[in-house]
Amino acid sequence: MTSTTRDVLVAGAGLPGLALAAALGKQGLAVALVDRSPVDVPDIDRSTWDARVYAVSPGSVAFLESLGAWNAMSIDRVTAIESMRIEGDEGAVMTFSADDLGERALAWIVEEREMRATLVQSVRDSAVDVLAPGGFAQLAFTPDAATLSLDDGRAVEAKLVVGADGVRSWIRQAAGIVAAPRPYAQTGVVANFACERPHRGCARQWFRDDGGVLAWLPLPDRRISIVWSAPEALADELMTLAPHNLADRVAAAGAHALGALELITAPVAFPLSHLRLPAAVAHRLALVGDAAHGVHPLAGQGVNLGFGDSQALATVLAERGPIRDAGASMLLERYARRRAEPVLAVQTVTDGLARLFSARTPWLARFRNLGLAAVDRLPMAKHLLAQPVLR
């Protein structure tokens, strides 16, 4: 068996794991990044679009800028959300404007592959030891370190192991943190469309009377990406439609706000679930991203929570002072305290809205639409509601 010793082992090369590895490497820590799949810069065909897009908050942009990843992205693949229009299932409307909130943009829409390409390069520039592909085989802890053994005979010992391997985290389970995501009985259907009329940087969202949520997110030029959080039966139906029929269905569901639509990427579906853990840390272990929490996509905050985790953990380790042990319990407790409030805030808002608008009680439908309209008339309330999204 070949063994490697590092300060920190990041297990999982999703976007939060890549960002964390790059941030820690830039601090001069000895970092290993392990993933089951190769960690390469993806080949990007500029004539195509990635169905996986993210709404990156101003706070996350600042973090990515510090890694050199944000400014390395192609500007023609990034779109600013300058305003947002939210409609309830009985016609109530709430709007947000970046100008009103004193921001350049509410968020920026970026393809997953674009962010991955620049973050992988940041990892390479940060002298991180990348061990991939390598399947996880065994995780063992001692008082002074943790060791992850891979299925090819390699092993990595580290003072701190970070689980960044997704909502069904192998690392989390191997560490004895048992938690099953709670399903929403909804499926997210995502796809990209060309649109007849310009979107003008406006994101749109509809809470539908079937309990689902439809979001349209602006892409460069006359294109949008959609996330339709649909009841499972409807999602199954949407996935079977011919391209032109799906485009017509999505256009109609959005009241033809941008005219006719044309499908430009094949639709992809994924189940939706909520995950709340009793703790995101344990002995020589920290969790980040979807391994630490799961949220409904209606606010588009999943990746931003993950980047927030990575930035918080990197900051705690950068400010550790004379504590040389990266896995010291005092540092992990600081990280847990720093993330508890923002994660709870986003989970409470997203889960609460998902439950509120999925209830079929008539009086409750009137109540939630009155509340949506009332908040729209209160600038201070809208500003407070927007804060978790802007972080």
- Identify whether 378 is part of a domain: yes
Q: What is the pLDDT of residue 389?
A: 54
Q: From CA 207, how far away is CA 359, in angstroms rounded?
A: 11
Q: Is 28 exposed, middle or buried (0-12, 13-18, 19+ CB in 10 A)?
A: exposed
What are the strands, taking DSSP E only, across 98-247?
107-111, 129-131, 136-141, 146-150, 154-163, 182-195, 202-207, 213-219, 223-231
Are 127 and 264 within one domain?
no
pLDDT tens sequence across 129-162: 999 999 999 999 999 999 999 999 999 999 999 9
**Burial label, 295 (beta-carbon count in 10 A; 0-12, 13-18, 19+):** buried
Q: Output the pLDDT for position 33.
A: 98
Yes or no: say if 307 and 291 are a contact pair by the CB < 8 Å rule.
Answer: no
Indicate whether 359 belongs to any domain.
no
Residue 109 has pLDDT above 60, yes or no: yes
Give the residue-averaged pLDDT of 218-246.
97
More confident residue, 351 or 110: 110
Check whether residue 189 and residue 336 sit in a common domain: no
Total domains, the chain: 2
Average pLDDT on 269-294 reads 94
Q: What is the CA radius of gyration of the chain?
A: 21
d(CA 15, CA 317): 19
Q: Does 345 have pLDDT greater than 60?
A: yes
Q: What is the CATH number of the domain that holds 138?
A: 3.50.50.60
Mean pLDDT to the nearest integer, 317-325: 96
Residues 19 and 132 in one domain: yes
Do 306 and 347 sit in the same domain of this protein? yes
Buried b (16+ CB within 10 A) or exposed e, 210-223: ebbbbbbbbbeebb
The answer to whether residue 59 sits within a structural domain is no
Q: pLDDT at position 361, please?
A: 61
Question: What is the per-residue pLDDT across 182-221, written as a single tens digit (0 to 9) for each?
Answer: 899 999 999 999 999 999 999 999 988 888 999 999 999 9
Amino acid (one-letter) located at 162: V
Residue showing tokens 């897009």? 53
- Highest-confidence segment of 33-42, 191-200, 352-361: 191-200
Q: Do 211 and 294 reside in the same domain of the chain?
A: no
The whole-angstrom separation of Cα 382 and Cα 246 is 34
* Region 253-264 average pLDDT: 97
Q: Do residue 128 and residue 35 come from a single domain?
A: yes
Phi first, then psi: give them for residue 155, nearest 5 degrees.
-145, 150
Q: Residue 386 pLDDT more than 90? A: no
User: Quick one: what percent of the chain has pLDDT higher than 90?
Assistant: 74
Q: Does residue 60 lie in a domain region?
A: no
Does residue 280 sit within a domain? Answer: yes
pLDDT higher than threshold 90 for residue 375: no
Residues 195 and 341 both lie in one domain = no
pLDDT, residue 90, reads 72
pLDDT at 32 over 70: yes
By residue range, what is the domain housing residue 41?
2-52+113-181+275-354
CA 379 to chain centre: 27
| Whether residues 299 and 241 fall in one domain | no
Residue 380 pLDDT more than 60? no
Query: Residue 57: inside a domain, yes or no?
Result: no
DSSP state of 146: E
pLDDT one-digit tens code per residue, 72-90: 999 999 999 999 998 887 7
Burial class (CB in 10 A: 0-12, 13-18, 19+), 250: buried
Q: Which residues pair with 110 in a beta bridge?
A: 54, 78
Within this chain, do residues 74 and 28 fall inside the same structural domain, yes or no? no
Q: What b/e readout covers 338-372, taking b as 16+ CB neighbours within 10 angstroms?
A: bbeebbeebbebbbebbeebbeeeeeebeebbeeb
Q: Given pLDDT bands bounded at 50, 70 and 90, which one contains residue 381? A: very low
In a domain, 164, yes or no: yes
Residue 224 has pLDDT above 90, yes or no: yes
Residue 300 or 191, more confident: 191
Tell whether 197 and 264 lie within a shared domain.
yes
Write the single-letter amino acid at 194.
A
- What's the average model confidence in pLDDT over 1-22? 91
Asked, for residue 58, whether it belongs to a domain, the answer is no
The whole-angstrom separation of Cα 266 and Cα 122 is: 30
pTM equals 0.92
What are the residues whose beta carbons fall under 8 Å from the beta carbon of 323, sequence distance 6 or more?
Answer: 330, 331
Residue range 43-72, pLDDT digits in tens: 889 999 999 999 999 999 999 999 999 999
Q: Which ranges of 35-74 would DSSP assign to H, the alpha helix?
A: 58-66
| Surface-to-core class of residue 23, CB atoms within 10 Å of its CB (0-12 exposed, 13-18 middle, 19+ buried) | buried
Give the chain's largest Cα–Cα span. Answer: 65
- pLDDT bracket for residue 173 (50, 70, 90): very high
Our CA dihedral for 228, 232, 237, 241, rounded to 10 degrees, sits at: 40
Cα(21)–Cα(30) distance, rounded to whole angstroms?
Answer: 10
Q: Which helix (H) or strand (E) holds 93?
A: strand 93-97
The CATH number of the domain holding residue 232 is: 3.30.9.10
Say whether both 47 and 79 belong to one domain.
no
Same structural domain for residues 326 and 375?
no
